[in-house]
Amino acid sequence: MSGISFSGVGSGLDTKAIVNALVAAEMVPQREALKTRQSNITNQLSAFGRLRSAMTAFQTTLNDLRKETNFQQRSATLSDDKYFGISTTAKAVPGQFSVEVQSLAEPQKLITQAGAFATSSSTVGTGSLEITSGSDSFTVNIGEGRKTLAGIRDAINSSKNNNSVNASIVNVDDGNGGTEARLILTARNPGLDNEISVVANDTDAGNGPNEGLNRLSSSNLVEQQAATDALILVDGLPATRSSNSISDVIDGVTLDLKQAELGKQTVVTVDIDKKKIGDNVQKFVDAYNTLRGVMRDLSGNENSALLGDSTLRTLNIQMRNEISSPVATAESNNNILSLVGVTINKDGRMSLDRTKLDKEIDANPSSISSLFASEDGVASRLYDTVRSYTQAGGLLENRTKGLDARMKSANSQEERLDLREENLFNRLSRQYNAMDSLVGSIRSSGDFLVAQLSAMNNNRF
């Protein structure tokens, strides 16, 4: 309000209180209506933010459950876990196998000859080493700064192209009461396919085949540990592999070998993992109920921010349709959720009968995968539905933008009300001040006339 003063002297009225009352009578109802409107918009924005968060969480769960492998898990048990560990994929076929680990795959180790080098700082020579192990081959250049045994070890280990060989130095007895240094090259991967080959290119003049850098060529290195392949018997049939992690003998099964012992057989039992499949179905049920709970909170009573909201009502209808509609690509006896134990009560809450689900998995495990994760499966369809709301430019973003625009309009209206209130106050203030001045003038004139008349009457007598 502008700095207008009120006297009230002329009329004897509290003109300031009168003006304030008149302004309030006109402006307060409008401000209260605007405040209610702004509050409703704020509540709706908050509600849509909460809904979007809940739908995004549901979408994340659905995205995972669209993968068929989540409904095709296999479990594996071992009669003895001493000799190998085991893991499975959906490709594993239920059944039993007898596995015997006869030997483990071992990496090759090559070591320099005895008496070749006194210490790790002994000079070897300059040139280059071409090192090969399996399919990996790399060249190490040995200059003046790296020509000692320790320098060559470090050059090998730091070579950016080296993915297959580790170099180390051990200081051991030399047999004469002293010590000597010996370089060891160890293949990082086991098996015959990863044997180490070293070709030395000595650049020091006058060195013979057993001198300088040539002392590190394969012909001058001693095999400390031979490379060996793993050998297992599966139901009595031999399988040889260059790795101790074997995944191509039994389909969908990986054996991680730990220990070999002749004649010791381990029984492997592969089965459908009903627990994991059931847990994934339960994830779906729980995620759906969580979203439904949020939707109910936002629209379930007369004080809810989204009561009667068309977007929420449409979403609810779409979700119910996708859940209750048959899946065309699933078998007819398992093409809707209720047939595998997933039902919805009258309050809209979903539940799972694990006993019924286990029975359907036993009868036809692949049908559960089709029901949820096929192209038109329940999880896939719901994912597409929810995504149309949560994606950039989706239905929820558009609703939020609309509410933001309404809030901006309401804030602009509030600014206009402020200006209107100030103008009304100023206009009424001027009018009442003018009235007060006029009444004061009239009263002053009246008082003068009364005084004059009184004086005239007094003079007459």
Q: Do 217 and 235 sit in the same domain of this protein?
A: no
Q: Are residues 322 and 211 in the same domain?
A: no
Q: Which residue, among 8, 30, 10, has the nearest Cα to 424 in the 3D structure?
A: 30
pLDDT > 70: what percent of the chain?
92
Query: Quick one: 288 and 393 in the same domain?
Result: yes
Backbone angles phi, psi at 284, to 5 degrees: -60, -45
- Asked, for residue 351, whether it belongs to a domain, the answer is yes
φ/ψ of 329, rounded to 5, equals -85, -5
Is residue 442, in this structure, part of any structural domain at all?
Answer: no
302 and 347 both lie in a single domain: yes
pTM over 0.85: no
59, 39, 65, 183: which is closest to 124 by C-alpha? 183
**Statement to judge: residues 139 and 212 lie in one domain:** yes
- Tell me whether residue 14 is in a domain: no
Domain span holding position 198: 109-225
User: What is the per-residue pLDDT for 6?
Assistant: 45
Q: Is 26 domain-assigned? A: no
Q: What is the pLDDT of residues 3-28, one digit of tens each?
A: 555 454 455 667 778 777 876 787 77
258 domain-assigned: yes
Instruction: Answer whether residue 417 is part of any domain.
Output: no
Do 160 and 234 share a structural domain?
A: no
Q: What is the pLDDT of residues 67-100, one digit of tens each?
A: 988 998 899 999 999 999 999 988 898 999 999 9
Residue 138 lies in a domain: yes
Q: Which residues pair with 137 in a beta bridge?
A: 132
Domain boundary residue among 272, 287, 302? 272
Residues 197 and 281 in one domain: no
Residue 415 lies in a domain: no
* Alpha-carbon gap, residue 44 to 5, rounded angstroms: 44
- Give the lowest-confidence range in 171-175, 229-233, 421-425: 421-425
Beta-ladder partners of 183: 169
Q: How many residues does the chain have?
A: 461
Task: State whether 101 and 148 are in the same domain.
Answer: no
Count how many domains the chain has.
Answer: 3
Within a 13 Å sphere around the CA of 164, how many CA atoms are in the beta-carbon half?
20
- Is the domain of 158 the same as that of 246? no
113 and 64 in a common domain: no
**Which of 167, 198, 225 is the endpoint of a domain?**
225
Q: According to the model, what pLDDT value does residue 3 have?
A: 52
Residues 188 and 172 in one domain: yes
Residue 346 and residue 285 in one domain: yes
Q: Does residue 460 register a pLDDT over 80?
A: no
Of the pLDDT bands very low, low, confident and very high (cuts 50, 70, 90), residue 268 is very high
Final residue before a domain boundary, out of 399, 420, 443: 399
Which amino acid is residue 22, in one-letter code?
L
